[in-house]
Chain A
């Protein structure tokens, strides 16, 4: 049942096929609705895909795969765990997940922000790209799985590891961190065994610019999740960057 008040509505998604749900969302936006609340979501895919208006969408329940794929400007807040492929090739906008999220997040991301309170899965931030001011950002409060930032060409990934040492927080990031990385930066908020690093990356000491950046980004992150920014910023951060722009030059006989 839809309830409309001027420019905000509520949609009950229980049992609604994703195509119909997303069509309703788009239709509402076309009408001029600026705030949409989706209730009883469970598994509907492709929510907010390709949206390019400054609208805000609340997702109550677990959204299906590919949330916010190709998104170009909306703000989506999820009040549950999210699944796989969130922010796939996202260009602009913001996604906030009050829970954990799955695998292959931010694949090919080219702008915008993805904030996840809990853990993120495998192959997060693959082939992120940036250009001048267009810088994609992924921040996770918990831990990440293997292949974090694989093949990254630009952008910023921050994994805080706030839950390291608890049952689902064995290590801030998994193996093969940044393999194939040739641009961008990864910041880890807890110590990682250097044996987990991909061949193409190394530790870079943080400078004033980095600290300023973290202050800004984590300030926003902590505000979104009601965390103590000072405490989070007092953590010891490790910055990982690629050694070279052309890591595979020597493998080929030209």
Chain B
């Protein structure tokens, strides 16, 4: 075996004067980077910069720094480019990574600004006046009819398809049990229930312990059909067909064997230690009418009591695809932009395939309106949503609600070290190792998630107040409230917004 030519990206420095040799850091590191021999000894190559040791050191004695290795500057060949080639030369394999695209592509959220009201139209004071965020996800008819009862009272005559009521337009995105731990799943479920929103169990099936939270869970039906059975379908409040995800459009899900432990094996019904690969296409969906068939099969299996949605990745012709999906009968379309996260994906796909959610969302919303079918399905948008500002802008572009994955994990403690695929997450989130999973207390995690959703909802209300509306439906799709800063004409055109100053 040739000696690896790679060096560590990070260096762990322990201040010997402060260190009280409690060994807490050694115990906490999930990557095995720290050991103890008359003092803390670091194997720098294994450090993932997950900050667990730094946070848990009682003396704040640890610093994790970039390895200050000087390499000749090269504007074309970054350190990462060189390092990746060394890795491939040593392994002959595809590079794999976790979380979302980290490359410096343009972020459109940061070039859009929101309006505020002054003088001619007052802003509203969200702390003192009612501000409504309630959102309904599902298919809505064009119009409604009423009829009079014999006693003179009002009754709805039109049949409305089942819709899901959310207290706030922010949902937790699909993250499979397998890619994340059971405790993380539980934390999401408890928080979703508390916040009046939903989590999505992802393509790994639904563990029994989450059954009591069914009213706040979307169950996913992906190409691997892991854990999909009739009871599963009826447990959740909606069923989502996963066609793609933003981090890896065109390819399937990937759970490395390291992460298939006992519980995952049981829930997914596959052997322990094997790689769980969901094929890229559903092998029964090769054309749009096949999708329609699956949608209705699911509706029949759930007796038309649950909305059936479809999750697609944002790609070049996302508008046409979304239109097809809606016409195929989906009650909602979830669009995952190229910044979406993942537990494991080939780096080359994660960083080069897919389009930004801002553009995809605008294009889909426009197309559905042009075709007169916008009310037939709700649009959920996600893929790198970082704060309530992004949420507000997404809604102004036309999203019914916004989906967060990475942000939720960060709330639980994730530092986005991108090592999820190793299953060594020191925070107990993206791992199945029992000793690591145990660290994530579902109730504490749920509280952190609830705080996040609560804080963003308050911020969203502040934004609504500033734009002078007191319910979210008056901002939804109101492109007039956005302006672009330093965007090209084409981009402004696609986003359907004016440049700031007009």
Q: Are A179 and B455 in contact (CB under 8 A)?
A: no
Cα distance, A198 to B128, chains bound together (Å): 8
A251–B128 Cα distance when bound, in Å, is: 12
B129 x A251 contact (CB < 8 A): no
Instruction: Flag if B130 contacts A176 (CB, 8 Å).
Output: yes
With a cutoff of 8 Å between Cβ atoms, the chain B residues found around residue A147 in the complex are 129
Given A147-B129, A151-B125, A176-B130, 9 more pairs with CB closer than 8 A: A150-B128, A151-B128, A176-B129, A179-B129, A180-B125, A180-B128, A248-B127, A251-B458, A253-B455
A198 contact set on B, CB distance < 8 A: 128
Q: How far is the CB of A158 from chain B (nearest CB, A)?
A: 22
- How distant is the Cα of A248 from the Cα of B455 in the complex, in angstroms? 13
Interface string of A221-254 (1 = CB under 8 A from B): 0000000000000000000000000001001010
B residues less than 8 Å from A248 (CB atoms) = 127
Question: What are 10 A-B pairs at a CB distance below 8 A?
Answer: A147-B129, A151-B125, A151-B128, A176-B129, A176-B130, A180-B125, A180-B127, A180-B128, A248-B127, A251-B458
A251 with B127: CB separation less than 8 A: yes
Chain B residues with a Cβ under 8 A of chain A: 125, 127-130, 455, 458
CB distance from B459 to the nearest CB of A (A): 10
Q: How far is the CB of A46 from chain B (nearest CB, A)?
A: 20
Determine the distance from Cα of A248 to Cα of B128 in the docked complex, in whole angstroms.
10
Q: Is there contact, CB below 8 Å, between B128 and A179?
A: yes
Best-buried of B127, B130, B458 by chain A (most CB within 10 Å): B127
A180 to B125, CA, bound (A): 10
- Chain B residues with CB under 8 Å of A180's CB are 125, 127-128
Task: Give Cα A150–Cα B125 distance, bound, in whole angstroms.
Answer: 11
B127 proximity list for chain A (CB < 8 A)? 180, 248, 251
Q: What distance in Å separates the Cβ of B410 from its nearest Cβ neighbour in chain A? A: 15
- Ordered nearest first, which 8 A-B pairs have the shortest CB separation? A180-B128, A179-B128, A248-B127, A150-B128, A251-B458, A151-B128, A180-B127, A176-B129
* A interface residues, Cβ below 8 angstroms from B: 147, 150-151, 176, 179-180, 198, 248, 251, 253
**How many Å lie between the Cα of A218 and that of B128 in the bound state?**
30
In angstroms, Cα B372 to Cα A116, docked, is: 53
Give CA–CA (A179, B128) in the complex, Å: 5
Question: Chain A residues near B130 (CB, 8 Å)?
Answer: 176
Residues of B within 8 A of A251 (CB): 127, 458
Which residue on A lies nearest to B455, using beta carbons? Answer: A253
- Smallest CB–CB gap between B406 and chain A, Å? 20
Closest to A151 in B: B128
Residues in A with CB closer than 8 Å to B455 are 253
User: What's the minimum C-beta distance from A252 to chain B, rounded to whole angstroms?
Assistant: 9
Instruction: Report chain A residues within 8 Å CB of B128.
Output: 150-151, 176, 179-180, 198
CB of A203 to closest CB in B, whole Å: 20
Chain A residues positioned under 8 Å from B458 (CB to CB): 251
Complex CA–CA separation, A248 to B129 (angstroms):
13
Cα(A179)–Cα(B130), bound, Å:
10
| Least Cβ–Cβ distance between A62 and chain B, in angstroms | 26
Q: Closest residue of chain B to A247, judged by CB?
A: B127
Q: How far is the CA of A176 from the CA of B130 in the complex (A)?
A: 8
- Chain A nearest CB from B91 CB (Å) reads 44
What's the least CB distance linking B403 to chain A, in Å? 24
Cα A253 to Cα B451 in complex, Å, equals 11
A253 to chain B, nearest CB (A): 7
Residue with the greatest number of chain A CB neighbours at <10 A, chosen from B127, B128, B129, B458: B128
> Which residue on chain A has the smallest CB distance to residue B451?
A253
* A243 shortest CB reach to chain B, Å: 14
Determine the residue in chain A with the shortest Cβ distance to B458.
Answer: A251
A145 smallest CB distance to B (angstroms): 14
Nearest-CB distance from B142 to chain A (Å)? 32
Chain B hits for A179, CB < 8 A: 128-129
Which A residues are CB-close (under 8 A) to B129? 147, 176, 179
Nearest-neighbour CB distance to chain A for B458, whole angstroms, equals 6
Closest to B130 in A: A176
User: A127 to chain B: closest CB distance in Å?
Assistant: 10
Residue on A nearest B126 in the bound complex, by CB: A251
How close is A53's CB to chain B, nearest CB, in angstroms? Answer: 34
Could you tell me the distance in whole angstroms from the C-beta of B287 to the nearest C-beta in chain A?
A: 50
Least CB distance, B451 to chain A, in whole angstroms: 9
User: What's the nearest-Cβ distance from chain B to residue A244, in Å?
Assistant: 13
**Distance (whole angstroms) from the CB of A11 to the closest CB of chain B:** 34
Of all chain A residues, the one with the shortest Cβ separation from B127 is A248
- The interface residues of chain B lying within 8 Å CB-to-CB of A151 are 125, 128
Shortest CB-to-CB span from A250 to chain B, Å, is 10
For the complex formed, measure the closest distance between the CB of A187 and the CB atoms of chain B, giving whole angstroms: 21
Q: Give A7 to B3 CA distance when docked, in angstroms.
A: 109
Q: How far is the CB of A213 from chain B (nearest CB, A)?
A: 27
Min CB distance, A90 to chain B, in Å?
A: 22
Query: What's the least CB distance linking A84 to chain B, in Å?
Result: 15
Least distance between A111 CB and chain B CB atoms (Å) = 24
B126 → chain A, closest Cβ, in Å? 10
Collect the chain B residues with CB atoms within 8 Å of residue A253's CB. 455
Q: What CA separation (Å) do A198 and B458 show in the bound complex? A: 17
| Residue on A nearest B462 in the bound complex, by CB | A251
Bound Cα distance A125, B471 (Å): 25
Complex CA–CA separation, A133 to B130 (angstroms):
34
- Could you say which residues of chain B place their CB within 8 Å of the CB of A150? 128
CB distance from A76 to the nearest CB of B (A): 28
CB of B448, distance to nearest CB on chain A (Å): 13
- Cα(A166)–Cα(B301), bound, Å: 56
A251 to B456, CA, bound (A): 11
Chain A residues, CB < 8 A from B125: 151, 180
Residue of B nearest to A252 (CB): B458
* Distance of B273 from chain A, by nearest CB (Å): 44
Q: Which among B129, B130, B458 has the greatest number of chain A C-beta atoms within 10 A?
A: B129
A151 to B125 Cα, complex, angstroms: 10
- Cα of A6 to Cα of B277 in the assembled complex, Å: 101
Q: How far is the CB of B136 from chain A (nearest CB, A)?
A: 23
For the complex formed, measure the closest distance between the CB of B411 and the CB atoms of chain A, giving whole angstroms.
13
Give the residue name and chain of the A residue nearest to B454 (CB). A251
By CB atoms of chain B within 10 A, which of A147, A180, A198, A251 has the most?
A251
Min distance, Cβ A248 to any Cβ of chain B, angstroms: 6
Q: How far is A150 from B455 in the complex, measured between Cα atoms in Å?
A: 24
A92 CA to B264 CA, complexed, in Å: 75
Closest Cβ of chain B to A151, distance in Å, is 6
Instruction: Determine the distance from Cα of A215 to Cα of B458 in the docked complex, in whole angstroms.
Output: 43
User: CA A248 – CA B458 in complex, angstroms?
Assistant: 12
How close is B424's CB to chain A, nearest CB, in angstroms? 31
In the complex, what's the smallest C-beta–C-beta distance from B64 to chain A, in angstroms? 25
Rounded to whole Å, the gap between the CB of A29 and the closest CB of chain B is 33
Given the complex of chains A and B, what is the CA–CA distance between A248 and B130 in angstroms?
15
Q: Give the CA-CA distance A179 to B458 in the complex, in Å.
A: 17
Alpha-carbon distance between A162 and B492 when the two chains are bound, in angstroms? 59
